[in-house]
Structure 1
């Protein structure tokens, strides 16, 4: 693809994320006859530039490392995704590069794999540090929700009580946010509650960057985390470990869906569908159907028993969609490199750092809708 087409995709994605930023930050849309001020455009563009900037750094981390190894690689493809305000979107499905050469060694897999997330993480740190150290006054929220003024700064005790079911949206948190909150925020009263986090451009862009970083570092197949883990522990142990890591992933995704306290009609209607889902996404892990069936029943039974004992425990069902994507499209397994020599100590240390980045960025429940 000519370079100008990559640039066009970048510009379209920047536009789409800016329009999405208007919706998330201010509740505005260019399709409605509402006044959109220059200040609104500034905030939306701030979100867009920060978010797309971090994604760009991530992808060029991969790109330049691939170039270092003289691999044939494309410029980043940015994927715009704005649904004209009819459906919520963050403005993009992300970005990717296409490596057209075969990676030959574990060292190449490792270096190309971790370069993107680590570069993007450093960029996200700069955005988040600025966001956490430049929080606006509490009254900022009244510019977006003027209806909160009747409750004053105690609006959080009143505003969310009578929301209809399915309208109570909250942004999740991760370990990095919790650490930075206590290190960089000088006045905790300025820090937004989970219902309002999306109205803060730097924090929202940084949160999404963390989410994409953690998503890429999941230890599966063609994801960056899969490349890193495969390079460190080798082909044999990677494929022995994959069923366990995927089981944990599915366990968290479906935790809380079913318990002995649920009505019989609900269990009869939905448990078989859930078991079919688990079977379908696990088919490529094992060769025989009996093993797949046992794998599925261990996951389901452990979820069912734990939820029955602790009824308030809740995983995050959104991960079940990613389980489907990983299993059927991205792949859980990893191709065998031509040169299987293990990575050196320096790269193992970088691997540990990458694991720490994953732990810091991973959000157990990214978006909560009640």
Structure 2
């Protein structure tokens, strides 16, 4: 099919620019506009983060694209989505990338292959980034070059202020952390200053979100191909209920903090520890915009044994990359 190469390239280079910008910010070197050389130099500090995140997105989306080509399904090249760093958002520099399938997918095999190719490739990149990041940590005092106020206030252990962003751990992170046992590993309040670890963490989070067995997400394609329309519908409703329950305690806490702060003590602390209010927003997006149902393929048929094995591998990847509380604050 005919591709809009100028548009794809423009979006890619804009996303390269915005991720360089975001990487410089997270690395403690905000972009300077005082002069062109200083602007270029400050952007350059964002290269590790930018290239790591773009590698993940590119491998994920081209996995889908090449699988579509293999099955002779018309699909666009990836549309990269740039996102300029904004002060009121978690500025990652991008909102991801997508391809668009231009025709109805002909059969269950092609649906499965197109759906699974992206998460498998992206997961491999995420693991590689995390392993590299764990094995190549800078010295422990690196964090004081970004936060000298920590050193002045008694060290990292006691100086992290209230309201600091905390990244959550998943089973993949905990497993690699245990196996590699990296020295000088910073706390989860500082991971976003370490570009390879941060990009790998983001990659695992995005992989899990894509593997949710809902609608036409990658996990929805895989679930539909493995378990059929009824199995997919059951899984979609079950996971929608699951993430709503996961987000409900912290959502109630958020409402009470505005309306009845004195009632906050009624919510058990253990419930809040394993809850993230963002899942309520995600449940709304999934149900209202993405949709729970999956359109049928032209021909539904049983998968081969090999594909079923890969399907269970994808489910295992979802389990170890899913983060119950991706973001929190101290």
TM value normalised by structure 1: 0.80
| Secondary structure of the corresponding residue to residue 23 of structure 1 | helix
1:235 is aligned, of 229, 249, 257, to: 229
Question: Residues 26 and 40 of structure 1 are in contact (CA less than 8 Å); yes or no, is this contact kept in structure 2?
Answer: no
Structure 1 position 122, deviation (Å): 1.0
Structure 1 position 68, deviation (Å): 0.2
Structure 1 position 360, deviation (Å): 1.5
| Secondary structure of the corresponding residue to residue 338 of structure 1 | coil
**Structure of greater Rg:** 1
Judging changes above 3 Å, is the alpha-carbon distance between structure 1 residues 240 and 357 closer, same or farther for their aligned structure 2 residues?
closer
Judging changes above 3 Å, is the alpha-carbon distance between structure 1 residues 128 and 157 closer, same or farther for their aligned structure 2 residues?
closer
2:311 pairs with 1:351: yes
Judging changes above 3 Å, is the alpha-carbon distance between structure 1 residues 27 and 336 closer, same or farther for their aligned structure 2 residues?
same
2:288 pairs with 1:328: yes
1:139 is aligned, of 135, 138, 141, to: 141
Supply the distance in 1 between the matched residues of 2:114 and 2:159 (Cα, whole angstroms).
Answer: 47
Question: Residues 43 and 201 of structure 1 are in contact (CA less than 8 Å); yes or no, is this contact kept in structure 2?
Answer: no
2:59 is aligned, of 54, 57, 60, to: 57
Structure 1 position 117, deviation (Å): 0.5
Q: Report Cα offsets for 1:76-108 as digits up to 9, x if no partner.
A: 000001145464410111000011021021111
Judging changes above 3 Å, is the alpha-carbon distance between structure 1 residues 37 and 149 closer, same or farther for their aligned structure 2 residues?
farther
Supply the distance in 2 between the matched residues of 1:146 and 1:40 (Cα, whole angstroms).
Answer: 19
2:104 is aligned, of 102, 120, 131, to: 102
Supply the distance in 1 between the matched residues of 2:27 and 2:205 (Cα, whole angstroms).
Answer: 18
Match of 1:212 in 2: 206
Supply the distance in 2 between the matched residues of 1:39 and 1:201 (Cα, whole angstroms).
Answer: 17
2:305 pairs with 1:365: no
Structure 1 position 4, deviation (Å): 2.2
| Secondary structure of the corresponding residue to residue 313 of structure 1 | helix
TM value normalised by structure 2: 0.89
2:304 pairs with 1:341: no
Judging changes above 3 Å, is the alpha-carbon distance between structure 1 residues 246 and 87 closer, same or farther for their aligned structure 2 residues?
closer
Match of 1:28 in 2: 30
Structure 1 position 30, deviation (Å): 3.1
Matches within 5 A, 1:109-128: 109-128=111-130
| Secondary structure of the corresponding residue to residue 20 of structure 1 | helix
Matches within 5 A, 1:150-165: 150=152, 155-161=155-161, 163=162
1:172 is aligned, of 165, 168, 172, to: 168
Supply the distance in 1 between the matched residues of 2:157 and 2:129 (Cα, whole angstroms).
Answer: 30
- Unaligned stretches of 5+ residues in structure 2: none
Question: Residues 213 and 235 of structure 2 are in contact (CA less than 8 Å); yes or no, is this contact kept in structure 1?
Answer: no
Q: Report Cα offsets for 1:191-222 as digits up to 9, x if no partner.
A: 01011100001000111111111110001001
Total equivalences in the alignment: 321
Structure 1 position 36, deviation (Å): 6.0
Q: Report Cα offsets for 1:144-182 as digits up to 9, x if no partner.
A: 11222235xx62332125x3xxx3211111111111112
2:271 is aligned, of 299, 313, 321, to: 313
Supply the distance in 2 between the matched residues of 1:5 and 1:206 (Cα, whole angstroms).
Answer: 28
Match of 2:192 in 1: 198
Supply the distance in 1 between the matched residues of 2:231 and 2:16 (Cα, whole angstroms).
Answer: 41
- Unaligned stretches of 5+ residues in structure 1: 268-306
Structure 1 position 140, deviation (Å): 0.8
Q: Aligned-pair RMSD on alpha carbons?
A: 2.6
Structure 1 position 42, deviation (Å): 4.1
| Secondary structure of the corresponding residue to residue 166 of structure 2 | strand
